[in-house]
A and B are shown apart, each in its own frame.
Chain A
Amino acid sequence: MAKKIKISINGIFVEVEPGTTILDAARNAGVIIPTLCYHKDLCIAGNCRVCMVEVLGQKRLSAACATPCEEEMEILTNSLKVRNSRKHIIELLLSEHNSDCTRCYKNGNCELQELASEYKIMTQDFIRLVPFKNYTIDKFSPSIIKDDSKCVRCQRCVRTCAELQGINALTVAHKGDQMKITTFFEKQINDVVCSTCGQCINHCPTGALVEKNYIEEVWDAISDKSRHVVVQTAPAVRIGLGEELGFKPGTRVTGKMVAALKRLGFDAVMDTDFTADLTIMEEGTELLQRLKGVLVDHNPEIKLPMATSCSPGWIKYVEHLFPDYLSHLSSCKSPQQMFGALAKTYYAKARNLDPEKIVSVSVMPCTAKKFEASRPEMHDSGFRDVDYVLTTRELAIMIKQAGIDFMKLEDAHFDRLMGESTGAAVIFGATGGVMEAALRTVYELVTGREVPFENLDITPVRGMEGVREATVKIENPLKEWAFLDGIELKCAVAHGLVNAKKVMEAVRSGKSEYHFIEIMACPGGCLGGGGQPIPTSPEIRRKRAEAIYAEDAGMPIRKSHQNPEIIKIYHDFLDQPMSEKSHHLLHTQYTPRERF
């Protein structure tokens, strides 16, 4: 280990490892330095200049985030020179920013607003630059609204799109006063390679990038007594929602969330977990059919590895960047869309409702789900399968608007028919969860025995490594699966599209031996989704993951095929996995798209 470096920060002497930045050293020493362009998920940009500090003996100030500590440095973070400069920088940012805060979606959760408030910028000395420019607001995407007048050019979104997602849909264009964050040839976000994952929203410090919200539309539907409004909630919402409503990251609020949804006035509160289990049944069966098609029938039309299709950001990514690999995607719709199609068929029939009168709402940790719900092919019920998609954040807003004291709510239960959950469905919210759930069911279907992992915890597919691999050897299968005897099922799990790219390039190069891959567009899986509470960080995502696995461990049923409502739906309605009815309602096809 290299020798530690001695420095002083505001007179406090500390020792740090070589390479430690002034910012990290200060935070460890209990000194807070304000930042704006800095984000724990991203590389250092050092461009906002808010974190400037004074290093004694140097004429210029240093950016704390980008400057490594050096021996004997005497650092001042609150000298007159620092304070004056910092105030100037914030004033400059505000002069360029559309500071109409009361009309901003991010009002109350904006890092620039916080800075302005902390430094009490009460006057407007500099000339306002916003009206002089032709700012554009791009609101044509069903998922993302981009308002350049609120952009502070910190490039967090650009770094997110490049480093976490490897897409570069958002880039910097022009220079000087014209410099802006935009897309290829300044096209609308809806027309470019964007996966609509919403990670840019999660990393934007201001209101420049926000989700397209459907709060008013949902209120209208709820208020319309002639409509029957059904809501489904995704696995990751129950471990994220609390953060928006006063709980610490990693708090499970499933029962309170259900109670709140009922108080909001939804006619039925059901669970996407149910269709997550259904996905396992369909996708697991599809995997087995594909294995048979390749290993027994040697059918060249059937492709392996099969990739999961639950993450709509991932789906759109493949459509743009690996259009020749669409046949590797499972044909299963995502749990949200399965739920939507069933709500207006199975549920309508069982409750004796006119499907035309049903409004299907989903609460998702995701902005790509908004895009997915708007796909023209997602009308298999005869109507738009999912009418409105809310993010976790939007639900929190509605709960606040309704005056619900979330902390005091008694736990409530999901409504029956499509409200039963299993541990397998809950872990869909974490990277590796779909893989784990699928293996729990597939292994048992094939061998008649439980997966050979202690407590059903398939730990090799858990964790936050970008790409993880696991092998499950199939021994002594049931008679009908005899062809799988001795086969080592090779699986890969990736989260964050930059890691998806690595897996896909391995597949493309022919070097991979994978049979089954799970890919989630967002870092950490859905728990780190683009619709989850802001801020996000590796630490926060780790806590959310712990909550998900705790929820799984506490479930009485932990395997999808044992979900009684799943057994019931196949008995009453769908017959069997991959049946004709399943094909019609639960499966879909994909569209190649341009790659710019």
Chain B
Amino acid sequence: MTISYQLKRADFIFKNENDWEEVLSKNLSRTPSELINELISSELKGRGGAGFPTGLKWKLTAEVEDSIKYVICNADEGEPGTFKDREILSMVPFKVLTSMAICGYVIGAKEGYIYLRGEYFFLRPELNKAISEFEYYCKEINFDFSIRIFMGSGAYICGEETALFESMEGKRGEPRNKPPFPSNSGYMAKPTVINNVETLAHTYTIFKYGAKRFYDLGVQYSRGSKLFSVSGDTPKPGIYELELGMSLADFVDEFGDGDTKAVQVGGASGFLVPRKRFNETAIGFQGKLTGISLPTGGSMMLFNSSRSMFNVLDNYLEFFREESCGQCTPCRVGCQQLLKGIKAVKRGEKNAKYLDKLLRLTETMQVTAKCGLGQSVANSFSSIVENFREEMIY
């Protein structure tokens, strides 16, 4: 099946509009339910990778009765191959801050936090300046909302929302059992909205231009535009805002170097798509119109024929082995077994059939791991091993 959706560029996020004060005060005069409905009708889905409908998230949190609630901006951008949130925070921080404040207004929170990736320490001074200016304006218009930065310490797992809460509470960054979900019990066991940086940047667009403008971009089930961090074997690495729903073939036409062998969509926890499937793969959230549709946090890594897929997988597994928090068995031990397993096969210590045993193991990890990290190791593992089996063995 060939997908006809084409690559279309968009330019919302980085457009320097300098009108955040107006957007903020305009939207604070609307009712929370109006704002929620606007967000729901835009069909914006979380841009961190998981794709949970943002409007629904706000709605659920708004419905919980509690005098204390929190808004958290997840800026722990750690997925290998992703570097968009950093740019948003340094180029258009006010869009993010404004959306956080509107969210606070909608759900009834007076405090917001930006959980900033440890390696983004250099962003902090400028961001703090922006926050001061922002809070000053909030005071001027008598809107009670404060924002603070919480620095992460460099663990990938802390991008997982409940591990992030634990980290903020001064504990070891380990994912919690779910339920309860953050909308009921998040940071400090209070109702919490946690959104990715880019998601908040999009809500700014929606609250400024209206849901329709956003909805008109993209395709069914995958509305709007999205930032893509393009890296690997490409003549033009960088960050691009594109409409969702394009086919991977189109994407590779634009960004490939003419020799693209495979594209890793969604970073180490995403899927590897081989050339033969470029035409039938669309970038977006799962939906009926698209063939195989891959959600992504925006990481697009291109590999050309000079790359060994064994090395690619080996690299991802090294990453997971180290970045698993280590609390749950399938993830902690599973990652070690996968890594040692492919090496053993490569060295001929285990026969090729052992790969099938490992594939079954990833199925178990997918259904038993406590959080998204362990569950998604299967994605890259199975897509690489199934498509490049011979490279694993010989």
Chain A positions within 8 Å of B, measured between CB atoms, are 44-50, 52, 59-61, 63, 66-68, 81, 84-85, 88-89, 92-93, 95-96, 125-127, 129, 132, 152-153, 155, 172, 174-179
A174 to B366, CA, bound (A): 23
Contact assessment for A48 and B328 in the assembled complex, using a CB-CB cutoff below 8 Å: yes
Residue of B324, B330, B340 near A92 (CB, 8 A) is B330
Contact assessment for B370 and A46 in the assembled complex, using a CB-CB cutoff below 8 Å: yes
Residue of A49, A68, A152, A175 near B368 (CB, 8 A) is A49
A153 to B367, CA, bound (A): 20
Contact assessment for A127 and B337 in the assembled complex, using a CB-CB cutoff below 8 Å: yes
With A126-B337, A127-B340, A177-B336 in contact, do A88 and B361 touch (Cβ < 8 Å)? yes
A95 to B357, CA, bound (A): 15
Asked whether any CB of chain A lies closer than 8 Å to the CB of B308, the reply is: no
- On chain B, the residues within 8 Å of A175 by CB distance are 155, 157, 322-326
Asked whether any CB of chain A lies closer than 8 Å to the CB of B186, the reply is: no
Question: Contact mask B315-349 → A, CB, 8 Å, 1/0?
Answer: 00000111111111110111111001100100000
A63 to B374, CA, bound (A): 15
Min distance, Cβ B285 to any Cβ of chain A, angstroms: 16
Could you name 6 residue pairs across A and B whose Cβ atoms are closer than 8 Å? A88-B364, A89-B330, A92-B334, A96-B332, A132-B340, A175-B323
Chain B positions within 8 Å of A, measured between CB atoms, are 155, 157, 172, 177, 179, 320-330, 332-337, 340-341, 344, 357, 360-361, 364, 366-370, 375
Min distance, Cβ A131 to any Cβ of chain B, angstroms: 12
A127 to B335, CA, bound (A): 12
Min distance, Cβ A99 to any Cβ of chain B, angstroms: 13
Contact assessment for B326 and A61 in the assembled complex, using a CB-CB cutoff below 8 Å: no
Which residue among A48, A85, A153 has the maximum number of chain B CB atoms within 10 Å of its CB? Answer: A85
Residue of A48, A127, A177 near B321 (CB, 8 A) is A177
Top 5 nearest A-B pairs by Cβ distance? Answer: A179-B326, A92-B333, A66-B177, A88-B364, A47-B327
Contact assessment for B337 and A92 in the assembled complex, using a CB-CB cutoff below 8 Å: yes
Question: Nearest A residue to B173 by beta-carbon distance?
Answer: A175
A60 to B378, CA, bound (A): 13
A50 to B329, CA, bound (A): 9
Contact assessment for A60 and B328 in the assembled complex, using a CB-CB cutoff below 8 Å: no
- On chain B, the residues within 8 Å of A92 by CB distance are 329-330, 333-334, 337, 361
A127 to B349, CA, bound (A): 11
A96 to B326, CA, bound (A): 12
With A88-B330, A88-B361, A127-B344 in contact, do A60 and B335 touch (Cβ < 8 Å)? no
A48-B328, A96-B333 given; 17 more Cβ-contact pairs under 8 Å: A49-B330, A49-B369, A50-B329, A60-B368, A61-B367, A61-B368, A63-B370, A85-B368, A88-B368, A89-B330, A92-B334, A126-B337, A127-B337, A127-B340, A175-B324, A176-B324, A177-B335
- On chain B, the residues within 8 Å of A67 by CB distance are 177, 179
Contact assessment for A176 and B326 in the assembled complex, using a CB-CB cutoff below 8 Å: yes
Which residue among A50, A61, A177 has the maximum number of chain B CB atoms within 10 Å of its CB? Answer: A177
Contact assessment for A153 and B334 in the assembled complex, using a CB-CB cutoff below 8 Å: no
Min distance, Cβ B342 to any Cβ of chain A, angstroms: 11
Contact assessment for A177 and B322 in the assembled complex, using a CB-CB cutoff below 8 Å: yes
A95 to B326, CA, bound (A): 15
The SS class assigned to the B binding surface is helix
Contact assessment for B332 and A60 in the assembled complex, using a CB-CB cutoff below 8 Å: no
A66 to B179, CA, bound (A): 8
Contact assessment for B328 and A47 in the assembled complex, using a CB-CB cutoff below 8 Å: yes
A178 to B155, CA, bound (A): 14
With A85-B367, A125-B357, A175-B155 in contact, do A49 and B329 touch (Cβ < 8 Å)? yes
- On chain A, the residues within 8 Å of B333 by CB distance are 92-93, 95-96, 129
- On chain B, the residues within 8 Å of A126 by CB distance are 337, 341
- On chain A, the residues within 8 Å of B179 by CB distance are 67-68
Residue of B332, B361, B367 near A81 (CB, 8 A) is B367
With A92-B334, A129-B333, A153-B332 in contact, do A178 and B326 touch (Cβ < 8 Å)? yes
A177 to B317, CA, bound (A): 12
Which residue among B320, B323, B332, B370 has the maximum number of chain A CB atoms within 10 Å of its CB? Answer: B332
A47 to B326, CA, bound (A): 9
Contact assessment for B332 and A155 in the assembled complex, using a CB-CB cutoff below 8 Å: no
Question: Nearest A residue to B344 by beta-carbon distance?
Answer: A127
A-B contact count (CB 8 A): 113
The SS class assigned to the A binding surface is loop
- On chain B, the residues within 8 Å of A63 by CB distance are 177, 370
A95 to B366, CA, bound (A): 19
Contact assessment for A49 and B328 in the assembled complex, using a CB-CB cutoff below 8 Å: yes
A49 to B333, CA, bound (A): 12
Min distance, Cβ B340 to any Cβ of chain A, angstroms: 5
- On chain B, the residues within 8 Å of A52 by CB distance are 367-368
- On chain B, the residues within 8 Å of A50 by CB distance are 329
- On chain A, the residues within 8 Å of B360 by CB distance are 84, 88
Min distance, Cβ A54 to any Cβ of chain B, angstroms: 9
Residue of A59, A125, A172 near B172 (CB, 8 A) is A172
Contact assessment for B330 and A153 in the assembled complex, using a CB-CB cutoff below 8 Å: no
- On chain A, the residues within 8 Å of B322 by CB distance are 175-178
Min distance, Cβ B266 to any Cβ of chain A, angstroms: 18
With A46-B177, A125-B357, A153-B332 in contact, do A85 and B364 touch (Cβ < 8 Å)? yes
Question: Nearest A residue to B324 by beta-carbon distance?
Answer: A176
Contact assessment for A44 and B329 in the assembled complex, using a CB-CB cutoff below 8 Å: no
Contact assessment for A59 and B367 in the assembled complex, using a CB-CB cutoff below 8 Å: yes
Question: Nearest A residue to B374 by beta-carbon distance?
Answer: A49
Min distance, Cβ A23 to any Cβ of chain B, angstroms: 12
A59 to B368, CA, bound (A): 10
Min distance, Cβ A20 to any Cβ of chain B, angstroms: 14
Contact assessment for B329 and A60 in the assembled complex, using a CB-CB cutoff below 8 Å: no
A175 to B332, CA, bound (A): 9
Question: Nearest B residue to A174 by beta-carbon distance?
Answer: B326
Contact assessment for A129 and B326 in the assembled complex, using a CB-CB cutoff below 8 Å: no
Which residue among A88, A125, A179 has the maximum number of chain B CB atoms within 10 Å of its CB? Answer: A88
Contact assessment for B344 and A89 in the assembled complex, using a CB-CB cutoff below 8 Å: no
- On chain A, the residues within 8 Å of B334 by CB distance are 92
Contact assessment for A47 and B370 in the assembled complex, using a CB-CB cutoff below 8 Å: yes
Contact assessment for B323 and A89 in the assembled complex, using a CB-CB cutoff below 8 Å: no
Contact assessment for B335 and A176 in the assembled complex, using a CB-CB cutoff below 8 Å: yes
A49 to B364, CA, bound (A): 11
- On chain B, the residues within 8 Å of A179 by CB distance are 324-327, 332
A300 to B361, CA, bound (A): 69
- On chain A, the residues within 8 Å of B368 by CB distance are 49, 52, 60-61, 85, 88-89
A152 to B370, CA, bound (A): 16
A179 to B157, CA, bound (A): 13
Question: Nearest B residue to A59 by beta-carbon distance?
Answer: B367
Min distance, Cβ A183 to any Cβ of chain B, angstroms: 15
- On chain A, the residues within 8 Å of B364 by CB distance are 84-85, 88-89
A60 to B157, CA, bound (A): 20
Min distance, Cβ B377 to any Cβ of chain A, angstroms: 12
Min distance, Cβ B171 to any Cβ of chain A, angstroms: 10
Residue of B155, B177, B320, B323 near A44 (CB, 8 A) is B177
- On chain B, the residues within 8 Å of A152 by CB distance are 329
Question: Nearest A residue to B365 by beta-carbon distance?
Answer: A88
- On chain B, the residues within 8 Å of A66 by CB distance are 177
A88 to B357, CA, bound (A): 10
- On chain A, the residues within 8 Å of B357 by CB distance are 125
A92 to B327, CA, bound (A): 13
A153 to B324, CA, bound (A): 14
Question: Nearest B residue to A58 by beta-carbon distance?
Answer: B367
Contact assessment for B337 and A95 in the assembled complex, using a CB-CB cutoff below 8 Å: yes
Question: Nearest B residue to A96 by beta-carbon distance?
Answer: B333
